Chains A and B, each alone.
Chain A
Amino acid sequence: MSSILPQLLTGLATASSLFLISAGLTIIFGVSRIVNFSHGSLMMLGAYIGWSILTRLPREPEWFALGVLATALATAIIGVVLEMAVLRRVYRSPELFQLLATFGVVLIIQDVTLLLWGPTELPLPRPRWLRGFVEVAGSRFPLYDLVLIAIGPLVLGLLWLALNRTRWGTLVRAATLDREMVAALGVDQRRLFTSVFALGAGLAGLGGALSLPNASANLGIDLSVIADAFVVVVVGGLGSLPGAFLASVLIGVLQAFGIVLVPKITLVLVFLVMAVVLVFRPNGLLGRPQTEAREATVAAPVVRPAPPALRLLGAVTLALAVAAPFIVGGYYLTVLTDACVAILFATSLHFMMGPGGMASFGHAAWFGIGAYAAGLLLHWAGAPMPLGLLAAPVAAGLVSGLFGLFVVRLSGVYLAMLTLAFAQIAWAVSFQWVEVTGGDNGLLGVWPPDWARDPRLYYWMALALSVGVALLLRRALYAPYGYALRAARDSTPRARAIGLDVEGLRMVALVIAGAACGLGGAIFAYGKGGVFPTYISIPHSVEALLMVLLGGLQTVAGPIVGALVYTGLADILVRSTDLWRLVLGAVIVVLVVAFPEGIAGAVRRLWLRGREA
C-alpha cells in the first residue's frame, strides 16, 4: 500500500507535463487541421529560453514563477513568427506536406538551438526550495512534483474558461467543428489561427521551462517529446482538450507503475496503450470522427505511364548507373549504394502511400526489421548473405501483414500515427532487448561473404535488386491489382459497390511495401557491416517521407527521383556544412511552399504545359 500513493503521484506529475505539451498540439490541430511536428521543438526552445532567463534571476519561488511565465510569452511570440512565416502558407496543402513543412522547422530549430546554446546539456541549478520534500504515506515526495500535479488541472481549467467563456473561445470551438463555416461567417481566420498557434506555442514553452528542475535543457527534447505528445493527443482524440487531459493521466500513471512492475518494457507500454485504444476506439477516447475538409477533395490527376522522352532519360540514367563503378570509385560508390537502398525505401513507401492512400510516419520499422532479420540470422545462426537477403523481406512482410490486421480499417492521420507508434515499439525492442539485439551498440560484423566484398560487386548487386524491385512494383501498379488499390483510394464506396475487397487490397499493399522495404534494410545492413536501433528512428522514417513527398505522390517515377535527389542533397550538405540540418530544413520548407505536388509532379506539369502550348 505504502508504495502505491507515491507512484500514483509521480504518475500525475508526469501527466501534467504531458498535458502541457499535448494541449497546445491538440488545440492547434483542432482549429488548423495541422499536425505540428515542430511542437516538441517549441518545448525544447522553452527549456533553453527558460534556462537562460531563470539562471539570470534571483532564486526565490516568485522569481521562478515570473521567469517561467516570461518563457511562455517568449515561445508564444516565436510561435506567432512561425505561424506567419511558414504555416500560414501551407494551410491549403495536403496533410502530409504540412507535416513535412513542420518537420523542416524541427530541423531548423535544432541547428539554431545548437548555435545559440551549444551542444552540452544545460541543467538548472536547483535552489533549496526546489529540492524540498514532503512526507507522503511514510515516504519522501518531491515538493516540486506536487506543484506540477496542481499545474495540470489549473491549466485545463483556465483553458476551459477561455474556450467556453470568451468570444475567442467560441470561435475556436466553432472552427474545430467546421472551419469552412466559420470562414463563411466572415471571421478573420488568419488572426484566429495565429492566436491559437501562439497559445499552443506558449503552452509548449511553459512545459519546457517547467521541465527544467527535474531534467535539463538538451537537444534531444524535441523528438522524444513529440512522440509522447502524438500518443497523448491520438489516445485522447484529435482536437479534444479533455481527451488530452484524460490520456495524459492514463499514460502518466501507467508509465509510473510500469517502471516499477516491468521496467524492461516502459517504452513499449505507452505505444501499446495507444494501439489498444485505437483498435477499439478509432477516434480516440473522446474524439469524434473527422469531418472531411470540403476543399481538400481536389481531383487527382490521371496516372499515366511516363512519356517516351522521360523513359529515355530513365534508361540513360540506368546505363550510367551500371557503368558508374568504372567512372567513380571509393567514396562515391558508397553513396551510390546508399542511393540504391534509398530507392527501395522510397518506392516501397510510395506504393502504400500513393496508390494505396495509406500514409506512414513509421516506414523505418520495416527497414529495421529487414536489417535485424538479416543481422540476427548471421549473428546467431551464421546464415549466409543470400539467406539473409531472402529472410529480410519475408520477416518484414509478415510483421507488416500482422500490423495490417489491426490498422487496415483506419485511415488518415490515425493510421499515420499508429505507424509511428509501431515504429517506436520496434525501436524500443531493438534498443531495450540488449541480450539479443545488442541494444544501443547494435549488431556488428554483419559483412557480406568474401565473394561480395568488392564494393563494385556489392554496388551492382544492390543496383540490380533495387531497380528490379522498383520495376516489379511499377508493373503491379499498372496491373489490375494496382488499379484496384488506387480505385479503393479514389472512392471507397464505389470500389465496394463494384465488388472490390478494399481491406484485402490494402493488406496486400502493406505486405508488399513492408517486404520491399525490408529488403532495402538488409542490403543496407550488409553494406555498412552492422545493424543499429537508429535504423528504426523517427528521423529515418521521416527521410522516407521526404523522399516520397519530394518526388511527388502522383507519378510512379516520383519516389525514385525523390530518393536520388534526397541522397545527393543530404550527402553534399553533410560534407559541406556543419549546419546541414538548418539548410535541409530551409530547403524543405521552401520546397513545400513552392511545389505542393513534389519535384517530379512539378516537372511533369511544366512538361505537359509546354507540350500543350
Chain B
Amino acid sequence: MSVLSVQGLGKSFGGVQAVSGVSFSVAPGEMLALIGPNGAGKSTLFNMVGGQLQPDAGSVTLGGATISGLGPRAVARQGVGRTFQITATFGSMTVRENVQMALLSHRREIWCFWRSVAERFGAEADALLAQVGLEAQAERATGVLAYGDLKRLELAVALGNAPRLLLMDEPTAGMAPAERVALMQLTRRLATERGIAVLFTEHDMDVVFDVADRILVLDRGALIAEGDGPAIRANPAVRAVYLGTDAGSH
C-alpha cells in the first residue's frame, strides 16, 4: 500500500510543458529520489505534490485521499512535511521554539491567546531535537546555527507534523560532502523507524545512489527511467541525458 500516489500529473507555463504525464508512487519507509538535469521539471513536480502549484492534469493522492488542488497549508494538514532548498526557519525564535511551533500547529493549539508557549510541548520538542542530534542547541537562536544544523532543524520541524510523507527539496544543497551523507543517513533511519515515505530531489549522485531505494529520472518534463541504483546506472537513456547532453553541469 503506497502513501503517495501520483497519476498522470501535468503542468504547463504559457506554452511550455514543464511536466507531463508523470505517474509514480511511494511506499511507507521508502526513499524515492527524483533526479534529472536542470530544467527537467523536478521543482515543478515537487511543488505540485506540496500544494505550492496547482496541476493542469492528473491527480495526487495521499493514503487514498486526493490532495491535488489543495494549498500548501491544507496539504501540510493532511500529513505532509517538507524541507526547503533554501532553509526556511523562524529567525526570531530559538531552535526549540521552532519545533514547538510545528507541534502546536499539529495539535491545533495555535488559536490560543493566553497560555504561554514556554509551557507547551517543550519535552516533545526536545525529544525530536535529540533525534536529529540538536538537543545541545535547543536554546540557541536559529540565526547563529551552522548550515548543516539548520538543515537538521528543518528535518525536526517537518517531523513535528507527524508526517506520512516527507518532501525534501535539495536537502543537501550547500553542505559539505561528509555532512550530506550524515544528514541523508539520518533521514533514512527516521524514515524506516517511523514508516515515513520520503520523496527528495538531489543533485549529488553519490547521495542518491547511497540512500535512495528507488530513483525516478525526469527529463524535459517526462519520466524517462525508474528503478534502483544499479538499474538506473545501466540505463542507456539516463546515460544519454547525463553524459551526452548535460555532462559537466553538476
**Residue positions of A touching B, CB distance < 8 A:** 299-303, 475-476, 478-484, 486-487, 489-491, 493-502, 505, 554
Q: How far is the CA of A493 from the CA of B82 in the complex (A)?
A: 10
Q: How far is the CA of A508 from the CA of B76 in the complex (A)?
A: 22
Whether the Cβ atoms of B91 and A483 lie closer than 8 Å is no
Contact residues in A for B247 (Cβ distance below 8 Å): none
| A interface majority secondary structure | helix
1/0 per residue, CB under 8 A from A, across B61-77: the answer is 00000000001110011
Q: Which of B37-45, B102-110, B172-180, B205-213 contacts A (4 or more CB under 8 A)?
A: B102-110
Whether the Cβ atoms of A483 and B111 lie closer than 8 Å is no
Q: How far is the CA of A489 from the CA of B73 in the complex (A)?
A: 16
Contact residues in A for B72 (Cβ distance below 8 Å): 493, 496-497
Whether the Cβ atoms of A494 and B89 lie closer than 8 Å is yes
Judged by a CB distance under 8 angstroms, whether B245 is at the interface is: no
Judged by a CB distance under 8 angstroms, whether B118 is at the interface is: yes
Q: How far is the CA of A554 from the CA of B144 in the complex (A)?
A: 17
Contact residues in A for B16 (Cβ distance below 8 Å): none
Contact residues in B for A483 (Cβ distance below 8 Å): 93, 97, 100-101, 104, 117
Say whether, besides A496-B76, A497-B76, A498-B160, A481 and B91 are in contact (CB < 8 Å): no
Contact residues in B for A480 (Cβ distance below 8 Å): 104, 109-112, 115, 117, 120
Q: How far is the CA of A491 from the CA of B98 in the complex (A)?
A: 11
Contact residues in A for B141 (Cβ distance below 8 Å): 299, 301-302
Whether the Cβ atoms of B105 and A476 lie closer than 8 Å is no
Give chain B nearest CB distance to A48 CB in angstroms. 46
When C-beta atoms are compared, the residue in chain B nearest to A304 turns out to be: B94
Whether the Cβ atoms of A299 and B73 lie closer than 8 Å is no
Whether the Cβ atoms of A475 and B113 lie closer than 8 Å is yes
When C-beta atoms are compared, the residue in chain B nearest to A493 turns out to be: B88
Whether the Cβ atoms of B77 and A299 lie closer than 8 Å is no
In the A-B complex, the 4 residue pairs with the smallest Cβ-Cβ separation, listed nearest first, are A299-B143, A494-B88, A499-B76, A490-B90
Contact residues in A for B144 (Cβ distance below 8 Å): 299
Give chain B nearest CB distance to A509 CB in angstroms. 11
Whether the Cβ atoms of B90 and A486 lie closer than 8 Å is yes
Contact residues in A for B116 (Cβ distance below 8 Å): 478-479
Contact residues in B for A502 (Cβ distance below 8 Å): 73
**Residue positions of B touching A, CB distance < 8 A:** 50, 52, 71-73, 76-77, 81-82, 84, 88-94, 97, 100-102, 104-106, 109-118, 120, 141-144, 157-158, 160-161
Give chain B nearest CB distance to A469 CB in angstroms. 13
Whether the Cβ atoms of A481 and B111 lie closer than 8 Å is yes
Whether the Cβ atoms of B81 and A497 lie closer than 8 Å is yes
Whether the Cβ atoms of B102 and A498 lie closer than 8 Å is yes
Instruction: Give 6 A-B pairs besides A484-B104, A484-B105, A494-B90 with Cβ atoms closer than 8 angstroms.
Output: A299-B144, A301-B141, A475-B113, A479-B114, A493-B88, A499-B77
Q: List 12 A-B contacts (CB under 8 A).
A: A481-B112, A483-B97, A483-B101, A483-B117, A486-B92, A487-B93, A490-B93, A494-B157, A496-B71, A498-B160, A499-B73, A501-B110
Q: How far is the CA of A302 from the CA of B139 in the complex (A)?
A: 10
When C-beta atoms are compared, the residue in chain B nearest to A484 turns out to be: B110
Q: How far is the CA of A479 from the CA of B117 in the complex (A)?
A: 5
When C-beta atoms are compared, the residue in chain B nearest to A485 turns out to be: B110
Whether the Cβ atoms of A487 and B101 lie closer than 8 Å is yes
Give chain B nearest CB distance to A468 CB in angstroms. 14
Contact residues in B for A493 (Cβ distance below 8 Å): 52, 72, 84, 88
Contact residues in A for B100 (Cβ distance below 8 Å): 483
Centre residue among A300, A490, A499 by max chain B CB count within 10 A: A499
Say whether, besides A483-B93, A490-B90, A490-B93, A498 and B101 are in contact (CB < 8 Å): yes
Centre residue among A481, A496, A497 by max chain B CB count within 10 A: A497
Whether the Cβ atoms of A476 and B113 lie closer than 8 Å is yes
Q: How far is the CA of A481 from the CA of B108 in the complex (A)?
A: 11
Whether the Cβ atoms of A481 and B105 lie closer than 8 Å is no
Q: How far is the CA of A335 from the CA of B118 in the complex (A)?
A: 38
Whether the Cβ atoms of A486 and B117 lie closer than 8 Å is no
When C-beta atoms are compared, the residue in chain A nearest to B82 turns out to be: A497
Q: How far is the CA of A505 from the CA of B97 in the complex (A)?
A: 18
Centre residue among A299, A483, A489 by max chain B CB count within 10 A: A483
Contact residues in A for B90 (Cβ distance below 8 Å): 486-487, 490-491, 494-495
Whether the Cβ atoms of A498 and B76 lie closer than 8 Å is yes
Contact residues in A for B109 (Cβ distance below 8 Å): 480
When C-beta atoms are compared, the residue in chain B nearest to A302 turns out to be: B141
Give chain A nearest CB distance to B99 CB in angstroms. 10
Whether the Cβ atoms of B73 and A491 lie closer than 8 Å is no
Say whether, besides A481-B112, A484-B105, A494 and B84 are in contact (CB < 8 Å): yes
Centre residue among B82, B105, B142 by max chain A CB count within 10 A: B105
Q: How far is the CA of A495 from the CA of B102 in the complex (A)?
A: 9
Q: How far is the CA of A493 from the CA of B71 in the complex (A)?
A: 11
Contact residues in B for A301 (Cβ distance below 8 Å): 92, 141, 143
Q: How far is the CA of A223 from the CA of B148 in the complex (A)?
A: 51
Give chain A nearest CB distance to B157 CB in angstroms. 7
Give chain B nearest CB distance to A486 CB in angstroms. 6
Contact residues in A for B104 (Cβ distance below 8 Å): 480, 483-484
Centre residue among A301, A478, A498 by max chain B CB count within 10 A: A498
When C-beta atoms are compared, the residue in chain B nearest to A505 turns out to be: B110
Whether the Cβ atoms of A303 and B89 lie closer than 8 Å is no
Q: How far is the CA of A491 from the CA of B83 in the complex (A)?
A: 13
Whether the Cβ atoms of B88 and A500 lie closer than 8 Å is no
Centre residue among B97, B117, B143 by max chain A CB count within 10 A: B117
